[in-house]
Amino acid sequence: MQSGRTEGGRGRRMKNNSGVGNQGNCTCLNCGTTINHNRGVPCQQTKCPNCGNLMTRGNSQQTEVSINNKVNASEFPQIDANICKACGICVEKCPTQAIEIKAGKAQIQTNLCKNCRVCVSACPFGAIS
């Protein structure tokens, strides 16, 4: 009787060898963060340590293209200088260190920003949108 198992008792392999082994990375399509894949834990069930979004298996060029297109196509977060208190919480939370305090207000350096939007939820005053 065949049970759907391959030789060696490891079960069926999925298309393109996805779902087998611990090689590869999990990548966040929102902010671009990459972490090592943990065997037995699907990337799609893993939350990004920086922005909290679900990740995807990051072994393909398609993942990199998706990240670049999302960052390029999206508007970067904006800081309302009238609301910003320069408390520095957004600076501490930014995973790419793209925010700095200048002249008593937070400013986003778009050349460093990956548009993960962690700063939006981190600001206690609602100054970033």
- Assign 31 a pLDDT band (cuts: 50, 70, 90): confident
pLDDT tens for 41-93 read: 888 888 888 888 888 886 544 444 445 544 443 588 999 999 999 999 999 99
Q: Is the CATH code 3.30.70.20 the one for domain 75-129? A: yes
This prediction's pTM:
0.48
Here the tokens at position 27 are 């990548």
Q: Where are the domains of the chain?
A: 15-73, 75-129
Cβ-based neighbour number of residue 22 at 10 Å? 10
- Looking at this protein, which amino acid is placed at residue 49? P
